[in-house]
Amino acid sequence: MSNQTPVIELRNVDKSFGPIDVLHEISLKVNAGEVLCLLGDNGAGKSTLIKTLAGVHSPTRGQILLDGKPMRFSRPKDAQEKGIATVHQFGGTFPLMTIGRSFFAGVEPTKGIWPFKVFDRSKANQIAVKAVQDFGITRIDDGDRLVGGLSGGERQSLAIARAVHFGARVLILDEPTAALGVKQAAHVLRIVNEAKRRGLAVIFITHQVMHAMAVGDHFAVLIRGAIAADFRKGEKSREEITDLMAGGETMSDLEAQIEGYMETHDGHPPQVASQSDA
């Protein structure tokens, strides 16, 4: 579209764990104020890709560029200091800690002089609650509540608010809407849009095409660690995206397979989980 320098760019990134090659030749760009949706089946390598961006893993080959400058992260903290904030799948918050403490984990506000540094609880609580409320979660009003007492959507919102608060320029979200109900998911999507409006570059991973289409400007589909398709909003229909996400097989093929199975098995669908039928 425009000629602006992408906030973050990957050039021919490979990642292997010993003999296992997980990512091959990944090249991607994300501009400020844009959402890149990363799609793909289970095990396609989405989490591995974003962990590489977040400094959890370092790429085996290839380059990561931030504002056009090559970067090398050896620890998650390095990526964070450069403004790359990540909300990892299955994580990011601590159930048995209070909202204020969890929000500031690793970057605690202190008062007093060394060595008598004091964790500033009231300041932490106040900032945390305000940051979450600014994203529209007004139900959170007490920073002393335990994170484990929040709903899944509230926890995700807290993690996103935390990332944005600490000056992120790139926000990476690994399946933030998985396991959420319709309403809670809508809330998280609104927060993603709000982050985009504030000019962040967002990378959003999801298995739900509807969620991707609600926020995405740009889509990349990963199949077995390689980019199988890379397109912009409006260039592909919902059905086409779904087919790509199923790993190249079309949805109608899958449906035909299931129907074929049912014909040869007295109308029973294939057993997925054990069901107790009479």
Partner 1 sequence: MSRPTARHGVGLSVFQRRPEVTGGLIGLVVVYAFFAYLGGSVFMQAPGWSSFLSVAAEVGIIALPVGLLMIAGELDISVGAILPAASLTTAVISGHYDLPTYMGIAGGLAVGVIVGYVNGLLVSRTKIPSLIITVGTMFGTMGLTLGLTIMIAGSTGVFMTPDPISKALLGQFIGGMFRVTMVWWVLFIVVVFYILHISPWGNWIFAVGGDPESARNAGIPTRRVTVGLYMLSGFAAAFVGVSQVITFQSAQVAAGQSFIFNSIMCVVIGGVLLTGGAGSVIGIVIGTLTFSIVNQGIFFSGLDPNYGSIIIGVLLLAAVLSNDTFRNIALRYGSKKS
Three-point CA angle 105, 107, 109, nearest 5°: 105
Query: Could you give the string, one character per residue 39-78, with x where binding to partner 1 holds by CB under 8 A and - elsewhere?
Result: ---------------x-x------------------xxx-
Residue nearest to ligand ATP as judged by C-beta position: 47
Stretch that binds partner 1, among 22-30, 112-120, 178-186, 231-239 (CB under 8 A): 112-120
> Residue type for 106, please?
G
Partner that binds at residue 42, options Mg ion, partner 1, ligand ATP, none, CB closer than 5 to 8 Å by kind = ligand ATP
Whole-angstrom CA distances from 179 to 94, 96, 238, 271 are: 18, 20, 21, 22
Alpha-carbon span 267 to 116, nearest angstrom? 72
Residue nearest to Mg ion as judged by C-beta position: 47
Residue 86 in contact with partner 1, rule: CB under 8 A: yes
Interface with ligand ATP (CB under 6 A): 17, 20, 22, 40, 42-48, 89
Stretch that binds partner 1, among 6-14, 114-122, 242-250, 257-265 (CB under 8 A): 114-122
CB of 121 to partner 1, least distance (A): 9
Selected binder of partner 1 within 12, 68, 72, 144 (CB under 8 A): 144
Stretch that binds Mg ion, among 62-70, 88-96, 164-172, 270-278 (CB under 5 A): 88-96
Residue 153 in contact with partner 1, rule: CB under 8 A: no
Are 204 and 38 in contact by the 8 Å Cβ rule? The answer is yes
CB of 268 to partner 1, least distance (A): 41
Decide whether 45 or 216 has the Cβ nearer to ligand ATP: 45
Residue 119 in contact with partner 1, rule: CB under 8 A: yes
Stretch that binds Mg ion, among 20-28, 85-93, 133-141, 212-220 (CB under 5 A): 85-93
Residue 69: CB partners within 8 Å, gap ≥ 6? none
Residue 269 in contact with partner 1, rule: CB under 8 A: no
Listing DSSP states for the chain in one string gives ---PPPSEEEEEEEEEETTEEEEEEEEEEE-TT-EEEEEE-TTSSHHHHHHHHTTSS--SEEEEEETTEEE--SSHHHHHHTTEEEE-TT-SS-TTSBHHHHHTTTS--EES-TTS-EE-HHHHHHHHHHHHHHTT-TT---TTSBGGGS-HHHHHHHHHHHHHHTT-SEEEEESTTTT--HHHHHHHHHHHHHHHHTT-EEEEE-S-HHHHHHH-SEEEEEETTEEEEEEETTSS-HHHHHHHHTTTS-HHHHHHHHHHHHHHTTTPPPPSS-----
Partner that binds at residue 45, options ligand ATP, Mg ion, partner 1, none, CB closer than 5 to 8 Å by kind = ligand ATP
Partner that binds at residue 107, options Mg ion, ligand ATP, partner 1, none, CB closer than 5 to 8 Å by kind = partner 1
Residue 47 in contact with Mg ion, rule: CB under 5 A: yes
Question: Residues in the site for partner 1, rule: CB under 8 A?
Answer: 54, 56, 75-77, 80, 86, 88, 91-97, 101-102, 104-108, 110, 117-119, 139, 142, 144-146, 148-151
